[in-house]
Structure 1
Amino acid sequence: MATNKLRGKELEKLGFPKGRVSTIILEIFQSKRFKKHDKEEKLSMLQALIDNREDFRYDPDFRRVVEAMEGKTDKGVEYELEDRELPCHIFGKENIQDGALRQMNAAMKLPITAEGALMPDAHQGYGLPIGGVLATENAVIPYGVGVDIGCRMCLSVYPMDASILEGQRGKLRNILLENTRFGKSEFELPLDHEVLERKEFQEIGIVRSLKDKAYCQIGSSGGGNHFVEFGITEILDPENEFGVPVGKYLAVLSHSGSRGLGAYIAQHYTRIAMDACHLPGEAKHLAWLDLNTEAGQEYWLAMNLAGDYASACHHQIHYRIGKKLGEKPLFKVENHHNFAWKEQLADGREVIVHRKGATPAKKGELGVIPGSMTQAGFIVRGRGNAASLNSASHGAGRLLSRTMAKNTISQSEVNKLLDEHGITLIGSGLDEAPQAYKDIRTVMRAQTDLVDVIGTFKPKIVRMSDDDR
């Protein structure tokens, strides 16, 4: 029976030495990334590495092989978790599952941690929980930012009556189909953008290797919970910052991040961090990069580039849709929620604040907190609450894991719920069913001290990825 599994003798035949190098290669090919590669593809890839290792030097996985072949055997530093009395305010704790609480507890024990907070939409993730906010001293945690660097919300509100959503639903649906791309799909003719000319694409190896991918994917959205929606924005606050009357308007809301560019940057620097910073198993994904090191400075620049790239993707999405509508927006609101910022604590200390699935909410800062396909989201104004590290939730938060959602929710149940709420859905899967999410109203009640509500957004036509999950 044929097998895709590589063996040590096959690696030796190609020219790889026994020991550490072969062990790393075999470990790499057991990962999800290479699950669908057959043996011939793997061997061909390894032959290419033997022929020209420079082509693999900045790959997030094969970098380790290159370094091992060159005799770089730095074992890094072992760190222990420390029990300290540090501030960590948890909002809506009664609705947060134990897994997220355990992850936040581990993050608070890192020797670099200064302060923390957990948002009411929190759920378990990798490293820092989704909804976790962590302030650290002169260090950045790649998995504290997340794989989808700079993932964000962008809302455009148009001077058009919301009734168009009923009278011209078919036309609006087609606008989404023709002017958005998700998952593996890309535009045949991507639009240009100044972000692609940034110096980081020439000066940082891993970023340089990703420029072609960034060009091909610009203006598109990821898979999973990313979306572009037509819906109804209702402005509730007559003293709103936008200078528009209270009332209902047609709006477009998008949620996406930095695509392959951010994902590969995250993987690359997470591996570097984990090689240099060894932590106990429960906290191993919280490995950090000291900002005084070359790797720390590189990651910081690459992270900021990925955040700006994510913003550029949203701007192109909204430009394409606005052009088809033939209207310019009355106003836009945009914020990101997978990022790290240099900020000051209440006592004046400068720290790095990681918001993994958390919305920046400094006093007066605007943001968008979405609900689900069938529940309204909110346009909010930050209240500058120091206990939350000037943060709020980034959405409703998951109630069910993706696996549990697929195993317990039927398509007929989803269709019935969508019909009840008048939602047209394009794409998506059961893992993104509305029932898989918490009640956004419960989440918002738990953060009245963190944000004020200016308006709402109610989805009506939803486009998501239809790639196989």
Structure 2
Amino acid sequence: MNGNDITALGFTGKAVGLALQAARSRAGAGVPDHDITTELAHVQHHPETFTDDPDYAELARELLALQARVPDTLRDKPLPYRQWGEDLIEESARAQMDTAMRLPVSVAGALMPDAHFGYGLPIGGVLATDNAVIPYGVGVDIGCSMRLSVLPIEHLERDEEMRLLRRNTRFGAGGSWERKVRPDHEVLDEDTWREFPLLRQLRDKAAEQIGTSGSGNHFVEFGTLSIEKSDLGLQPGQYLALLSHSGSRGFGAQVAGHYTKVAQNLHPKLDLEARKLAWLDMSREEGQAYWAAMELAGRYALANHEVIHERVARALKVTPLVAVSNSHNLAWRQQLPDGREAIVHRKGATPAAQGQLGIIPGSMADPGFVVRGKGNSQALESASHGAGRQLGRKQAERTLDRKAVARLLEERGVTLLGGGIDEAPQAYKRIEEVLARQADLVDVVAKFTPRVVRMDSGKEDI
């Protein structure tokens, strides 16, 4: 066995070397590799029974020391937290948030009006923790984000908008650009890629997918931006705009999967209902490594948007008048109202500090909004990241009528390229209702009305 084999079992930090040392000792005694793997798993999950074992005692003590830092025991009751749009939030999302607020590392939280059930932390959940980061508190699509570019063009024909989106965007779980036209970006040259083995392995995949969008609710669309206030530095009026929603692609997903497993292995006794909320200590190597990878994935996701918008602008031979972007699947170091610093996870929530601009989209047929944050401390300076689902994907595929969806798109004047029935407007809450529930979190400064929308094709195309 080698170090990679040990790491694949979920050992991290100092425990990797101790596990490798123990494995070599057992191999020297003639124990087969598959038996050693089984033994290591037992040590990992029950280190207290190996503290006197001649081969595994040192490893067991290190694992116990890790566990002793913060007990895995949940609080009896969740800490109190505010909900916005409580009448719009499903009970399963509240139950997930309750579990998150019972974590021993949690210190504050909030639930946005677009909240719905997710993995670990609910989508629309905001969670502050003490010196700990939760990979599933950030989400699988690390750095999922929005970007809007206001273009200096009064009008484009619909056929031209369709052509531009087809030529300058790529979608799908494995989507990438052909090698001869593959774009580049300075984020791919950052030193962080070389600092950790996992990032070195993922850099080539990230380079293949730069400037592309995933599946699900990711999109690139042309539409009309109606500016109501001068926050964007432009006069009130109507403008042509490009809006995109994308994330960190396969790179971010693999970072999330790897470090979630690491966190779960560090907390083997964590209650089953909180298993996906296992955390990493920020003072230890594992937490620092995830944080570096997470921040890189956030920058990479924003770079994807930049490439997409630059390609379209270059094809039009224009420079955007202004651009706005924000991430809504990330963790930040943030000072709480009581003065202490915490790690604030926003999983499907838009940062909304005082004066901060952000984007809250609706659906393929509903408007999106540029907003200005009010810095509400009870919401941990956050707002919703969209309308939020009211039908799960499978439920939408089973129950929605494709002809009715097509009629709605036609009524709204929306041309759809791709897009599955699971992303139909009827699968989402009404964005106007969601915005109405958070008037104390954000002000609306502009409204984006979609016209030509490109998405990945779902299982059941509309």
- TM-score, shorter chain, exceeding 0.5: yes
- Which SS does the other structure have where 1:371 is aligned? coil
Deviation per residue, 1:153-203 (Å, 9 max, x gap): 000011222x43xxx110110100010001122111321111111122111
- Residues 376 and 411 of structure 1: is their aligned pair in 2 closer, same or farther, counting only changes over 3 Å? same
Q: Is structure 2 residue 131 aligned with structure 1 residue 138?
A: yes
Q: Deviations over 1:197-246 (max 9, x none)?
A: 11221111111110110010000001110000000000011xx2332111
Residue type of the alignment partner of 1:169? R
Q: Say if 2:422 and 2:458, in contact at 8 Å, map to a contact too.
A: no
2:342 maps to 1:335: no
TM-score, structure 1 as length reference:
0.84
Q: Does residue 226 of structure 1 match 2:196?
A: no
Q: What is the DSSP-based 3-state SS (H/G/I as helix, E as strand, rest coil) of the residue aligned with 2:307? A: helix
Q: Is the 8 A contact 2:10 2:262 kept in 1?
A: no
Q: Give the structure 2 partner of residue 398 of structure 1.
A: 389
Q: Secondary structure at the match of 1:233?
A: strand
Deviations 1:78-118 (A, max 9, x none): 62210357341100011100000000000000000110000
What is the letter of the counterpart of residue 144 of structure 2? C
User: Would the aligned equivalents of 1:60 and 1:264 in 2 still touch at CA under 8 Å?
Assistant: no
Q: Deviations over 1:128-169 (max 9, x none)?
A: 0000000000000000000000000000011222x43xxx11
**TM superposition shift of 1:346:** 0.4
Local SS of the residue matching 1:219:
coil
CA contact (8 A) 1:123 1:131 kept: yes
Matched, 1:179 2:168: yes
Percent identity, aligned pairs only?
Answer: 52
Question: CA separation in 2, counterparts of 1:377 and 1:241?
Answer: 16
1:430 aligned partner: 421
Q: Secondary structure at the residue paired with 2:182? A: coil
Distance, in Å, in 1 between the alignment partners of 2:441 and 2:10 is: 40
Aligned to 1:291: 282
Ranges in structure 2 where 5+ consecutive residues have no aligned partner: 24-35, 46-62
Q: CA deviation at 1:467?
A: 5.9
In 2, Cα distance between the equivalents of 1:214 and 1:54?
Answer: 25
Cα distance in 2, alignment partners of residues 440 and 56 from structure 1: 48
Q: For residue 55 of structure 1, report the CA deviation from its aligned partner.
A: 6.8
Instruction: Evaluate the alpha carbon distance shift between residue 349 and residue 55 of structure 1 in structure 2; reply closer, same or farther with a 3 A threshold.
Output: closer
After superposition, residues 438-449 of structure 1 pair within 5 angstroms as 438-449=429-440
Aligned runs of 1:91-170 on 2, under 5 Å?
A: 91-161=84-154, 163-164=155-156, 168-170=157-159
| Gap runs ≥5 in structure 1 | 1-49
TM-score, with length taken from structure 2: 0.85
Q: CA deviation at 1:441?
A: 0.7
In structure 1, C-alpha distance between the alignment counterparts of 2:377 and 2:226, rounded to whole Å: 29
Cα distance in 1 for residues equivalent to 2:5 and 2:428: 40
Given residue 384 of structure 1, which amino acid in structure 2 is its aligned partner? G
CA-based RMSD of the aligned residues comes to 2.2
In structure 2, C-alpha distance between the alignment counterparts of 1:379 and 1:118, rounded to whole Å = 20
Q: Identify the match of residue 355 of structure 2 among 364, 389, 412.
A: 364
Q: Which amino acid aligns with 1:428?
A: G
Q: Does the 8 A contact of 2:11 with 2:262 survive in 1?
A: no
What are the equivalent positions in structure 2 for 1:226-305 lying under 5 Å apart? 226-237=218-229, 240-278=230-268, 279-305=270-296
Summarize the Cα distance change of 1:116–1:190 in structure 2 as closer, same or farther, 3 Å threshold: same
The count of aligned residue pairs is 412
Which of 377, 399, 403 in structure 2 is aligned with 1:408? Answer: 399
State the partner residue of 1:34: none
Distance across 1 between alignment mates of 2:77 and 2:341: 20
Within 5 Å, give how 1:46-125 maps onto structure 2: 69=37, 71=40, 73-75=43-45, 77=67, 79-84=72-77, 86-125=79-118
**Contact 2:111/2:126 (8 A) holds in 1:** yes
1:374 counterpart = 2:365: yes
Determine the C-alpha separation between the residues in 2 that align with 1:404 and 1:468: 13
Partner of 2:320, secondary structure, is coil
Structure 2: distance between partners of 1:58 and 1:260: 21
Question: Within 2, Cα distance between the matches of 1:103 and 1:402?
Answer: 19
| Structure 2 partner of 1:208 | 200
| Contact 2:11–2:265, Cα closer than 8 Å, also in 1 | no
Q: Match for 1:329: what amino acid?
A: P
SS in 2 for 1:372: coil
The residue number in structure 2 matching 1:316 is 307
Q: Secondary structure at the match of 1:380?
A: strand
Cα 1:324–1:62 shift into 2, 3 Å: farther
The separation in 1 between residues aligned to 2:284 and 2:347, in whole angstroms, is 23
Which whole-Å CA distance do the structure 2 matches of 1:83 and 1:369 have between them?
A: 35
